[in-house]
Copies of this chain bind each other. A is one copy, B any other.
């Protein structure tokens, strides 16, 4: 049986993913927006595998026969050139073939094949199997599948990327049964795409669920604003770098409780059926505003803001912190390594094995590359984000051979294009002599030794001596690479001492951020139902309201000053927080890690000189608080105090009111 992995001869067909079929549209399919995230994943996968993608659309004239006014069954929808006919905004349509159907008044078509040239265009491209998802299961998807089978295509139905209208409650089940009987196979994202950051919805704190019930009990489901920020910079750190936003967006898009997870909650006996029922349809439907990844930021600046019904905004706390905290930790440490290397050495993440678990290894590869590393040793990072991967051999490879020189020789024969040899298994200088001897032998076979790696002992001393011996032997082209216990300070020393090395493998100390293995970060409620809130605990107090960071630069383009203000204010400077998601849907296709990395590089270039040092800059970077924000804070304190005496009623005005009256 052919496996489910898309391969040559396969194509993706996205059926009618248009605004009018999405919530808010004129012919909305219930929960139709839930297909967007998986379809994006499928599309990314097909695109990265250079396999064709087709997207069908209804493309009706204003007086189409299917509209009620013309006696048809449906309200007007997908009228040519209107916003309702546009594809979902977050879909990346690069390299997508668009198939328009039912374009004339009298022609109706549920199937993407009907009255279109889809069949011939697919066959032109040698397509024999179609992966089909979109809207709606019981109309256009079903009819498209019928025709696909009739036209001899194999069909894989993307089960997590379809939703039904269910005019009659059994329509969906009937459609699924028919498609199964037609020989369709069923697949989900897990069968097809690699997703290292996928975590169970149960990966959360118990109190998120207990609070959720209590909010539901009280009907406290109005909009809440939460912000994620870091309270203090760790000792000797002058800045932090934003990272982890894309994983957070993916998490929010995909968040739901699977039947297995609901079942596990039920078995715990801890939760009333009512809560479990509400979790069955639980999704994130809120807004996200955040700094783009790679942005430099400072203490108390909001990095990411969630605006959503209180139970949702509360529930996502644990995983949002879990993803942002670690991503920022590594990106910030990696940025210091990048500054220390001054562009003079290749930086590669070697940390997977001592990262704290699987996801940390993957996030570390991603975050360090974002911050300016050249690559990683972690294979998965190439598969998921196209991060360059590097790797050579382990000591065990040398040890397994009867002699070191034999090991070197065999490795070069296996990988003639990738010949970096590890020198320190026994004795670095003897190994260097082996390299010199071998090099002559191998050159005759057209194989060039490209590099050597040192991994223990006094590597600065070793590097000088190895360089001297290699140069003396006329092997100036062999590069020296070092690894083992390195961090930004070690890199800085190599640079200061002008040690002849051309690359650094940075492992453990990067991925555990050993000098600061955690950040004092928090995700705090700033506003509920339009009323600003703050926490006043000693040492953990917060500023209320939805906030924005306004950054000013000096004449040379360097960062000069940040001001923390209210999101509703207009102050001078660039605003660092940008809209990312509205109503649970992204505003834009996701940006490649390579683009974010370029942004990070520009941010590092704009750092004021004192902040580039590895020690503590004095004075630290100035972050001020706007007058409006200060006043709001005082006002909240007065009012919270007043209201903390009674059990009932609100004495607050909305933040909008507050501004109307206060200024």
Q: CB within 8 Å of B: which residues of A? A: 1, 3-7, 48-49, 172-173, 176, 190-194, 196-197, 199-200, 202-211, 213-215, 217-218, 220, 224, 226, 259-265, 267-268, 310, 314, 317-319, 321-323, 325-326, 329, 350, 352-363, 377-380, 382-383, 389-397, 399-406, 409-411, 413-415, 418, 424-427, 430, 455-457, 508-509, 511-514, 517-519, 521, 524-525, 528, 533-540, 640, 643-652
20 contacts between A and B (CB under 8 A): A194-B202, A200-B380, A203-B352, A203-B379, A205-B378, A207-B394, A209-B391, A210-B418, A217-B413, A264-B383, A267-B383, A310-B400, A399-B533, A404-B644, A405-B647, A406-B646, A425-B535, A456-B540, A457-B537, A508-B518
Q: Is B518 a contact of A317 with CB atoms below 8 Å?
A: no
What residues on B are CB-neighbors of A418 within 8 Å?
210
In the bound complex, how far is the Cα of B214 from the Cα of A411, in angstroms?
6
Distance, CA A417 to CA B252, complexed state (A)? 31
Check if B199 sits within 8 Å of A196, measured CB to CB: yes
Q: A202-B383, A203-B362, A213-B414 are in contact. List 18 more A-B contacts (CB 8 A).
A: A6-B263, A7-B263, A194-B202, A194-B264, A206-B378, A206-B379, A207-B377, A207-B392, A209-B391, A214-B414, A264-B382, A265-B379, A317-B353, A356-B512, A396-B524, A399-B533, A425-B537, A514-B518
- Total identical chains: 2
Bound: A325/B173 CA distance, A: 48
Using CB atoms, name the residue of chain B closest to A535. Answer: B395
Known: A205-B377, A354-B518, A425-B535. A361 touches B322 (CB 8 A): yes
Contact, CB under 8 Å: A358 / B359: yes
Chain B residues in 8 Å Cβ range of A405 = 644, 646-647
Inter-chain contacts of A430 with B (CB < 8 A): 644
Given contacts A356-B357, A647-B405, contact A211 B394 (CB under 8 A): yes
Nearest B residue to A321 by beta-carbon distance?
B353
In the complex, are the beta carbons of A358 and B7 less than 8 A apart?
A: no
- The smallest C-beta distance from A372 to any residue of chain B, in angstroms, reads 20
- A359 to B352 Cα, complex, angstroms: 13
| Cα-based distance from A427 to B644 in the complex (angstroms) | 11
CA distance A193 to B205 in the complex (A): 20
Note all chain B residues with C-beta closer than 8 A to A192. 260
Chain B residues with CB under 8 Å of A321's CB are: 353-354
CB <8 Å contact, A353 and B415: no
- Smallest CB-CB A-B distances: 4 pairs: A206-B391, A357-B359, A207-B391, A264-B383
**Are A455 and B537 in contact (CB-based, < 8 A)?**
yes
For A323, give the chain B residue with the smallest CB separation.
B357
Contacts of A202 in B (CB 8 A): 194, 379-380, 383
Q: How far is the CA of A390 from the CA of B305 in the complex (A)?
A: 28
Give chain B residues whose Cβ lies under 8 Å from the Cβ of A329.
Answer: 356
Instruction: Choose from B190, B205, B267, B357 the contact partner of A358 (Cβ within 8 Å).
Output: B357
Taking CB atoms, residues of chain B closer than 8 Å to A176 are 1
For residue A172, which residues in chain B have a CB less than 8 angstroms away from its CB? 1
**Are A645 and B403 interface neighbours, CB within 8 A?**
yes
Q: Once the chains bind, are B259 and A5 in contact (CB under 8 Å)?
A: yes
Q: Is the CB of B196 within 8 A of A410?
A: no
Query: Is the CB–CB distance between A518 and B524 below 8 Å?
Result: no
Given that A194-B261, A321-B353 are contacting pairs, would A643 and B402 also be in contact in the complex, using a CB cutoff of 8 Å?
Answer: yes
A605 to chain B, nearest CB (A): 29
In the assembly, what is the distance between CA of A96 and CA of B541, in Å? 57
CB-CB < 8 A to A402: which residues of B? 643, 648-652
In the complex, are the beta carbons of A410 and B518 less than 8 A apart? Answer: no
Chain B residues with CB below 8 A from A310, complex form: 400
Cβ B358 vs Cβ A356 within 8 A: no
CA distance A207 to B391 in the complex (A): 5
Given that A203-B352, A261-B383, A643-B403 are known contacts, is A226 also in contact with B533, CB under 8 Å in the complex?
Answer: no
Q: Which residues of chain B are near A517, meaning CB under 8 Å?
A: 512-514, 517
Given A49-B267, A400-B220, A525-B400, CB of A213 within 8 Å of CB of B456: no
CB–CB B49/A361 < 8 A = no
Contact A210–B393 (Cβ < 8 Å):
yes
- Chain B residues within an 8 Å CB radius of A363: 356-357
Q: Across the interface, which residues of B come within 8 angstroms of A382, CB to CB?
A: 264, 268
Determine whether the beta carbon of A267 is less than 8 Å from that of B173. no
Give every chain B residue within 8 A of A197 (Cβ-Cβ): 358
Choose from B358, B533, B643 the contact partner of A400 (Cβ within 8 Å): B533
A359-B357, A457-B537 known; A525+B647 contact, CB < 8 A: no
- A394 contacts B317, C-beta separation under 8 Å: yes
Residues of B close to A646: CB separation below 8 A: 403, 405-406
Q: Which B residues are in CB contact (< 8 Å) with A314?
A: 394, 396-397, 400
Q: Within the complex, what minimum Cβ distance (angstroms) separates A333 from chain B?
A: 12
Note all chain B residues with C-beta closer than 8 A to A326. 355-357
A355 to B623 CA separation, bound complex (whole angstroms): 29
From the candidates B49, B322, B403, B457, name the one contacting A263 in the complex (CB within 8 A): B49
Contacts of A48 in B (CB 8 A): 267
* Bound CA–CA A392/B354 (angstroms): 33
A6: chain B residues at CB < 8 Å are 263
Contacting residues, chain B, for A204 (C-beta < 8 A): 352, 378-380
B406 touches A647 (CB 8 A): yes
Q: Which residue of B lies closest to A260 (CB)?
A: B5
CA distance A537 to B453 in the complex (A): 13
Measured between C-beta atoms, what is the minimum distance from A624 to chain B in Å? 25
Bound CA–CA A317/B400 (angstroms): 15
**Which residue of the partner chain, among B5, B7, B410, B640, contacts A217 with CB atoms under 8 Å?**
B410
Bound CA span A215–B267, Å:
48
Contact A361 B203 (CB under 8 A): yes
Q: Return the chain B residue nearest A325 by Cβ.
A: B354
A430: nearest residue on chain B (CB-CB)? Answer: B644
Residue of B nearest to A649 (CB): B402
Q: How far is the CA of A224 from the CA of B399 in the complex (A)?
A: 11
- A262 and B220 alpha carbons, distance in the complex (Å): 48
